Amino acid sequence: MREGNQENVESIIEKYPKKESAALPVMQLIQEENGNQLDAAGVEEAARALGMSKSRIYGIATYYTMFNTRPVGKYHLQVDTCVPGFLHGADEIVKHLEQTLGISVGETTADDLFTLSTVQDLASCATGPVIQVNDRYFENMTIEKTDELIEALRQGKEPDNDTSMTVVSECGILLNDRTQADCRTLDFYKRNGGYQALAKALSMQPADIVNEVKDAQIRGRGGAGFPAGAKWSFLPKDDPRPVYLICNADEGEPGTFKDRQIMEFNPHLVIEGIAISAYAIGAAQAFIYIRGEFTWIADILEAAIEAAKADGQLDHVDIIVHRGAGSYVCGEETALIESIEGKRGNPRSKPPFPANIGLYGCPTVVNNVETLASVPYIVRHGAETFKQIGIPNNYGPKIFGVSGHVNTPGVFEYPLGTPLKTILDAAGGVKGKMKGVIVGGLSVPILTAAEAEGLSLDYDSCQKAGTSLGSGGIIVVNDSVSIPELALRTIEFYHHESCGQCVPCREGSLVVESKLRALVEGRGTREDIDLVLQLCGTIRGLTLCPTGEAFSMPIQAMVTKFRPEFEALIQQ
Amino acid sequence: MKKTIFIDGMAVAFDGEKTVLQIARENGIYIPTLCYHPKLGPAGMCRVCVVEVDGMRALQTSCSLMATDGMRIQTASPGVIEARKMVVNLLLANGNHDCLSCEVNGDCELQDAAYHLGIERPAFLVEEQAERDTSAAFIMRDPNKCILCGRCIEGCNRMVVNEVLDFGLRGGHTKVICDADVPMGQSTCVQCGECVQLCPVGALIDKKGIGQARAWEVEKVRTTCPYCGVGCQLELHVKGDQIIRVTGIDGAQPNQGHLCVKGRYGYDFIYSDDRLTTPLIREADGFREATWDEALDLVADKFSQIIAESGPDAIAGVSCARSTNEDSYNMQKLMRGVIGTNNIDHCART
C-alpha cells in the first residue's frame, strides 16, 4: 500500500455496512493516486485492502469503463458518440481530434499527453457534442472550441465548461432558478420552503406518508412508470432485517439528462425526498447511486448532505453517495444493488424482488431521483394537490429532455400529458423536417413524424402509440439522418453496455450489430434484414433483465418502419 | 402434501419445494441446460432451459422457476423451440465449435442441445477468434469453445474457494480470466481441475487426455483415491489398460466430486517401471526380491536387536499422510504398546 493510502482506504471502508461495498471507491482512489491507472500493482493493492481475490478486482475493473487497466495519457479525451452526440456532430469532433493529434481512437500521443477514446452516452444530450477530459465535462463543443481546449490543455490550463442550454419550468417543482448564484445552498432552499415537508413528515405516522404517496399515484420516473407507492408497500411488514433506500441516480439512458438537473442545481430537493421516503419506509441507511462520470455532482450532493446534517435534518437517516464507474446496466435496480455490494453490475434473476431480497439480502426500495424529488411536494401539499397536475393515471410534473434536431435543446418541466408539440415548440421547434422522434430515451421504439402527430406525453398515450414515455428523453431526428446508421449507432450502444451474462443479449446484440454494420457498409443482404427482425422478435422477453428488450424493440421499430432505407443499402 | 404440475399435458406429482427443471428431470423429460449444474444451482444465464407457463407472458427459465400446484408447462411449444434454437445458434455463431476433433465430442451439453433441436450447422456466423491458453500444467483453456456459462467460476470461487477464476471485461468481450488476466500457468491456480469437470463444453480440457480417446470409447471404473486418508471417490476413464482421465464422483461422499491436483492428474506412477511389486531386501550394493514374510521377519528382528542394544527410545515412528486415521492410531499403538516408546509423529507435522 502506498504511503498515506491506508488511512483513506480504511475511512472509505468504515462508511459502509459491508467491507466489499468499498470496492469501487477504493479502486477509484488507488487509480487516482496512480496517474489515472489501475495497473497490476493497483489491482493487487485493492485486493489486499478489501480482502477480495485478484480476479474479482480485475473483473470489476474491466467491467466498468472508468477504470484504466492500461496506461492513458495525462489528458484522457473521451468523446460521446452515442446517438444524441452523433446527431449533434460528435463524429466530426472525433475526426478533427484524430487529425489534430495525429492519433486514432484508442491511441495515445507520443508525448503521453493525450489519449483519445470514444465513449457511450455521458448524459449531456442537449449540450452535445461533449468531451470528457479525465473527469471533467466540456459541453457544447465545436471544432473551434476543441482547438482552444487542446491548446489550453497543452499549456496546462483547463478552460471553463459551457453548460448553456434551454431550461423551462412550467411547474416550478423540480427545477429551481439556476440563474441564482446560491441556488444549491441550504439557505436558498429553506428560503423557498425547503425542508418544511420533512418537518411535516416527521410529525406523521410512516404508514400515512406511504398512503399519501400511494394516493398521489406517482409513477416511477426512471422509465418503467411503476407506481412508487405500490413499490413501497411491497416491503415485508414486521421484518427484523434493516430496510435500505436507494436513490437511483445512474442516469444512463441515451437521451436522458434530467436527474442531473435536479441534483446539480437543486440537491436539497433530492435529499429532502430521500429523508422523507426513508422515514416512511423505515430505512436508517440510504444510498445515492450516482453514475461515476458525474464526479462534480457527487461532490455537490455530498456537500449538501453535510449541510443538511449540520442543520439537523438527517438525524434519522444516513445517506451515502456511492459513485458508479461507467455502466449503463447498473441503472437496472438489481444490477445497481450488485454494484453497491462491490461486484460486477450484473442484474439478478427476479424473483426474488428487491423489496424482499435486495441490498445485502435485505428489503430494499430503489427509486429514481425525479420520483424521490417529487415526494416533498406530495407530502407538503397533499396527494390531491399533486393530482391537479397532469391527467388521470399520469399525475405530476415531469422533466422532459430534448436533444437532437431541435433549434434550442434543453430541459422542460411540464405536467404529464403535455402535447409533444408544446415541448418541441419550447425547444425552438424542429430543425429541418422531422423524420422521426424517440420520446422515452433510446430504449423505446421510434415514432415516425406521422405517428408523433398529436401525441400527448404521458405513459398511457405513449403506450397506445406503440412506444413508451420511458425516462422522458426526447430525441428528434430530421430527414438528414439515415435510419440504418441510427440503428447501427443504437445497437453499438447496447452491445457495448450489455453485461454479458445472458446469451440472447450478449450474443444477440453482437450478431445484430454485425448484420447492421454489413448493411450500412453495403455488404448486407435481404436475409440480414430478416435475420435482424427475427432475432429482435425472439430476444424480446427472453433475456435475464430488460436490456434485451431495450435494444430489440427500438431496432425492430427502426427496421420495420423504415425498411425501404435498409433495402436501398443492398447491392444488387 | 403432494402437489401436481402438468408438463405438456401430463400430470406429474411432486413433493416439497422444487424447480420445474428438477421435476422434469426426475420424470425423464429432457429440457436442455447449459449454465445449470445440480451442484451449483440455477444461474439463469444461458436461457436455453426456457419453458412456456400458462398465465405468464414471457418464457420462464425452468432452472429457476419454482413449481406451484396446478402449474401448466409447455416444454416444446413453437415459441419455446424458437427461443432455444436462437440461443444455441447464437452460441454456435462465433468461436470454434468443431465437434469432429473436439475432446468432448459425445460428452458436450451444447452438442446435446443442438442435437435435440435438430441444428446441423449454425444458422448464421459472426467469426471471432481468441487464442488458446496452454500455459498450465494440466488444463488447457480454449476461449473459442467457451459459452460463458460461469460454471467454472462458481466452482472455483464457491466450491473449492481457490478464487482464481472470474469474469473479466463485459458484454460481447466477456471472458473467463485467471487472477488479473494472466495465463493460467502463471496464475495462483493449483490445477485442481474442478473447473474442467464442471465445464459443459470443450472450453476446459484435461491436457493429459488430449487425443487419447473419444468419450464413448472409455470405460468408467469407480475407485478410491490412493493419495491420502480422505478417501475421495473417483472414476477412472479407462481405454484398454490406459487411464485417459480422472473425474470425481458428483454426489458421492466424502468429496462430492471435488479432487485435488494429485488425485485428478497424478496417476502416472501406476505405469512406472520403478514401481515395487515385491518387497526388496538390501544386500551388499543392491536389492534382492523377497517375500512379505521374510521382509517382515527381518524388520522385527532388527527392531528387537536395536531395543536390546540401545533401548526402545532408539526407535521412532513417523506415520504417513497417505494413511487413514485408523492406520495412524494403530501406528502409535505399535510404537507405544509393542516397541515401548513415545517417539511417534506424523509427516504432516514435520
Residue A513: its pLDDT value, please?
97
Q: Which residues in chain B are closer than 8 Å to A498, comparing Cβ atoms? A: 170-172
In this structure, the answer to whether residues A422 and A557 fall within a common structural domain is no
Q: Which residues in chain B are closer than 8 Å to A54, comparing Cβ atoms? A: 179-180, 188
CB contact under 8 Å between A43 and B59, yes or no, is no
CB contact under 8 Å between B45 and A544, yes or no, is yes
pLDDT band, very low/low/confident/very high, at B128 (cuts 50, 70, 90): confident
In this structure, the answer to whether residues A381 and A502 fall within a common structural domain is no
In this structure, the answer to whether residues A499 and A357 fall within a common structural domain is no
Instruction: Of B79, B93, B144, give the one whose Cα is nearest residue B121.
Output: B93
In this structure, the answer to whether residues A355 and A278 fall within a common structural domain is yes
Interface check B127 vs A, CB under 8 A? no
Interface check B195 vs A, CB under 8 A? no
Please determine, for residue B127, whether its predicted confidence score (pLDDT) is greater than 80: no
Interface check A352 vs B, CB under 8 A? no
CB contact under 8 Å between B172 and A327, yes or no, is no
Please determine, for residue B348, whether its predicted confidence score (pLDDT) is greater than 90: no
Which residues contact residue A435 at a Cβ distance below 8 angstroms, ignoring those fewer than 6 apart?
Answer: A448, A449, A477, A478, A479, A481, A483
Which residues contact residue A379 at a Cβ distance below 8 angstroms, ignoring those fewer than 6 apart?
Answer: A197, A200, A201, A204, A209, A212, A213, A276
| Distance of residue B216 Cα from the nearest chain A Cα, in angstroms | 29
Task: With respect to residue A265, please indicate whether it lies within any of the assigned structural domains.
Answer: yes
CB contact under 8 Å between A544 and B47, yes or no, is yes
Interface size between A and B, measured as CB pairs under 8 A: 129
Cα distances (angstroms) measured from residue B230 to each of A148, B227, B233, B256: 72, 8, 9, 12
Measured at the alpha carbon of residue B67, what is the angle toward residues B65 and B70, in degrees to the nearest 5?
Answer: 135
Around B63, how many Cα atoms within 13 Å sit in the side-chain half-sphere?
21
Task: With respect to residue A330, please indicate whether it lies within any of the assigned structural domains.
Answer: yes
Residue B246: its pLDDT value, please?
97
Please state the rounded mean pLDDT for residues B192-219: 96
* Bridging pattern class, strands A136-138 and B139-141: unpaired
Measured at the alpha carbon of residue A103, what is the angle toward residues A252 and A37, in degrees to the nearest 5?
Answer: 55
In this structure, the answer to whether residues A24 and A132 fall within a common structural domain is no
The CATH code of the domain that includes A462 is: 3.10.20.600
Q: Which residues in chain B are closer than 8 Å to A56, comparing Cβ atoms? A: 157, 163, 166
Please determine, for residue B321, whether its predicted confidence score (pLDDT) is greater than 90: no
What is the ipTM for the molecules in this complex?
0.91
Please determine, for residue B205, whether its predicted confidence score (pLDDT) is greater than 60: yes
The pLDDT > 90 percentage for chain A reads 98
The pLDDT > 70 percentage for chain A reads 99
Task: With respect to residue A191, please indicate whether it lies within any of the assigned structural domains.
Answer: yes
Strand partners, B5: B12
Domain-terminating residue out of A450, A478, A506: A478
Distance CA A568, CA A519 (A): 9
Domain-terminating residue out of A423, A453, A478: A478
Question: CB count, 10 Å around CB of B244?
Answer: 22
Q: What is the pLDDT of residues B76-110, one digit of tens each?
A: 999 999 999 999 999 999 888 989 989 999 999 99
Task: With respect to residue A159, please indicate whether it lies within any of the assigned structural domains.
Answer: no
Residue A342: its pLDDT value, please?
97
Q: Are A134 and A76 in contact (CB under 8 A)?
A: yes
In this structure, the answer to whether residues A265 and A364 fall within a common structural domain is yes
In this structure, the answer to whether residues A32 and A126 fall within a common structural domain is no
Q: What is the grid cell recorded at A179?
A: 440563474
Residue type, A355: A
Task: With respect to residue A104, please indicate whether it lies within any of the assigned structural domains.
Answer: yes
The CATH code of the domain that includes A512 is: 1.20.1440.230
By Cβ distance, the residue of A54, A57, A503 closest to B87 is A503
Q: What is the pLDDT of residues A462-492, one digit of tens each?
A: 999 999 999 999 999 999 999 999 999 999 9
Residue B228: its pLDDT value, please?
87
Q: What is the 3-state secondary structure (H, E, C) of A476-539?
A: EEECCCCHHHHHHHHHHHHHHHCCCCCHHHHHHHHHHHHHHHHHHCCCCCHHHHHHHHHHHHHH
Distance CA A331, CA A340 (A): 12
Which residues form the domain of A439?
390-478
Please determine, for residue A2, whether its predicted confidence score (pLDDT) is greater than 80: no
Interface check A54 vs B, CB under 8 A? yes
Task: With respect to residue A572, please indicate whether it lies within any of the assigned structural domains.
Answer: no
What are chain B's domains? 3-92 (3.10.20.740), 143-205 (3.30.70.20), 214-275 (2.20.25.90), 293-349 (no CATH)
By Cβ distance, the residue of A43, A495, A511 closest to B124 is A511
Q: Are A398 and A472 in contact (CB under 8 A)?
A: yes
**B11 three-state secondary structure:** strand
Please determine, for residue A3, whether its predicted confidence score (pLDDT) is greater than 80: no
In this structure, the answer to whether residues A18 and A103 fall within a common structural domain is no
In this structure, the answer to whether residues A451 and A521 fall within a common structural domain is no
Interface check B56 vs A, CB under 8 A? no
In this structure, the answer to whether residues A86 and A59 fall within a common structural domain is no
In this structure, the answer to whether residues A307 and A399 fall within a common structural domain is no
pLDDT band, very low/low/confident/very high, at B126 (cuts 50, 70, 90): confident
Interface check A225 vs B, CB under 8 A? no
The CATH code of the domain that includes A137 is: 3.40.30.10
CB contact under 8 Å between A495 and B172, yes or no, is yes
Interface check B171 vs A, CB under 8 A? yes
| Distance of residue B183 Cα from the nearest chain A Cα, in angstroms | 12
* Bridging pattern class, strands B204-206 and A364-368: unpaired
Q: Give the total number of structural domains in chain A.
A: 5
Burial of B57 (0-12, 13-18, 19+ CB in 10 A): exposed
pLDDT band, very low/low/confident/very high, at B350 (cuts 50, 70, 90): low
- Maximal C-alpha separation, chain A: 74
Task: With respect to residue A162, please indicate whether it lies within any of the assigned structural domains.
Answer: no
In this structure, the answer to whether residues A501 and A525 fall within a common structural domain is yes
Least confident of A487-491, B73-77, B317-321: B317-321
By Cβ distance, the residue of A498, A508, A541 closest to B59 is A541
Please determine, for residue B129, whether its predicted confidence score (pLDDT) is greater than 90: no
DSSP string of B23-62, one letter each residue:
HHHHTT-----SS-BTTTB----S-TTEEEETT-SS-EET
Q: Are B225 and B324 in contact (CB under 8 A)?
A: no
By Cβ distance, the residue of B64, B83, B166 closest to A542 is B83
Task: With respect to residue A68, please indicate whether it lies within any of the assigned structural domains.
Answer: no
| Distance of residue B255 Cα from the nearest chain A Cα, in angstroms | 24
The residues in A 520-549 lying below 8 A from B, measured between CB atoms, are: 531, 535, 538-539, 541-544
Domain-terminating residue out of A13, A35, A63: A63
Instruction: Of A551, A356, A343, give the one whose Cα is nearest residue A442.
Output: A551
| Distance of residue B184 Cα from the nearest chain A Cα, in angstroms | 12
Residue A515: its pLDDT value, please?
97
CB contact under 8 Å between B181 and A344, yes or no, is no
pLDDT band, very low/low/confident/very high, at A4 (cuts 50, 70, 90): low
CB contact under 8 Å between A544 and B174, yes or no, is no
Please determine, for residue A399, whether its predicted confidence score (pLDDT) is greater than 80: yes
